[in-house]
């Protein structure tokens, strides 16, 4: 199973999707993406945290300090209402994009 590099611009959408399932911390988000994609998608910390900070600035996610599973202090992120709306719109765009590309590729 080779790992494929993330398509630029899709990281935000993935993060939002993951957080939609419940709030978690940075390590947890990276883990979930890996698990959900069957380890095909790997998120570099170098891209994850800047993305998280950026999205927090834009108001799509909010953060709160809490205790992790091992009782360590960690910053938990959760989706905001704006974030939820953003997720929906990005999902729609993605679906349309995929369908279009698929159509082109399948055309004979």
Partner 1 sequence: MKTLLVRLKALFRRKNLEAEMEEEMRHHLEERTAAHVRAGMPPDEARYAAIRGFGNVDGLKEQARDQWAFAWLEQVLQDLRYALRQFARSPGYTLFVVVTLALGIGSTTAILSAINATILNPLPGRDAERVVMLGERGFVQGREERTGVSPPVLEALQSVRDHFEATTWYESAQIVRKFEDFTTIEVGAWVETEFFDLLGARPLLGRTFLSDEEIVRSGNQPEIDGPIVISHEWWRTFFSGSPEVLGRQVDLGGRRFTVVGVMPAHFRFPNEGVNYWLPAKPERLRPGILRAPNTSVLIKLKPDGMPSQVDVILKGVADRLMSDHPSEVRGYGQWWGLRPNGLQLWHSPLRVHFQDGSGSEELQRTLFGLLATAAFVLLIMCANIANLTLARIERRQHELSIRLALGVGRARLMRQLLTESAVLGVLGGIAGIAVAGAGLRLLATFNTLPRLRPLEVDFRVLGVALLISMSTGPLFGLLPACRVGRLELHRSLARSVSGAVSGMRQFSFRAGLVMVQVSLTVVLLTGAGLMLRSVVKALNVDPGFDPSNLLTIHLNFGGAQRRAPTESADRAAMIAHRNSVLAQLVERYREIPGVKAAGLFRAHYPAENAVLETDGETVEVLRAYTGMGEASYFRTAGIPILAGRAFGREDIGVHSSAVVVSELMASACWPGESAIGKRFRTARVGSTKIAPEIYEVIGVVGDVQPRGFNEHVHPTFYRAIDESTLTGMSPAVLVRTERDPRALIGTLRAVLKATDPDMMLPHITIARQVLFDATKAQRTYRNYLLVFGSVALVLSAVGIYGSLAYSVARRTKELGVRLALGAGRRHVLALVMRDGAGPIGVGIVAGCVGSVWLTRFLTSQLFEVSPLDPFAMAGAIAFLLSVALLACYLPARRATRINPIAALRTE
CA distances from 5 to 1, 27, 28, 106 (A): 13, 18, 19, 23
Tell me if 26 contacts partner 1 by CB under 8 A.
yes
| Total chain residues near partner 1 (CB under 8 A) | 21
Shorter beta-carbon distance to partner 1: residue 42 or 92: 42
What gap in Å lies between CA 29 and CA 18, rounded to an integer?
A: 7
Binding residues for partner 1 restricted to 35-94, rule: CB under 8 A: 44-46, 49-50, 53-54, 56-59, 65, 68, 70, 72-75
Look at residue 7 and give its three-state secondary structure.
coil
29 Cα distance to chain centroid: 7
Q: For binding to partner 1 (CB under 8 A), which residues are involved?
A: 25-27, 44-46, 49-50, 53-54, 56-59, 65, 68, 70, 72-75
């Amino acid at each position: 199973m080779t790992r494929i590099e993330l398509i630029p611009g899709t990281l935000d959408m993935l993060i939002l999707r993951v957080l939609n399932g419940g709030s978690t911390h940075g390590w947890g988000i990276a883990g979930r993406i890996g698990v959900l994609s069957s380890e095909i998608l790997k998120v570099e910390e170098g891209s994850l945290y800047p993305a998280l900070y950026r999205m927090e600035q834009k108001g799509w996610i909010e953060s709160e300090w809490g205790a992790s599973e091992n009782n360590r202090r960690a910053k938990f992120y959760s989706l905001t209402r704006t974030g939820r709306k953003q997720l929906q719109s990005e999902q729609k765009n993605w679906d349309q994009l995929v369908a279009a590309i698929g159509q082109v590729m399948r055309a004979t």
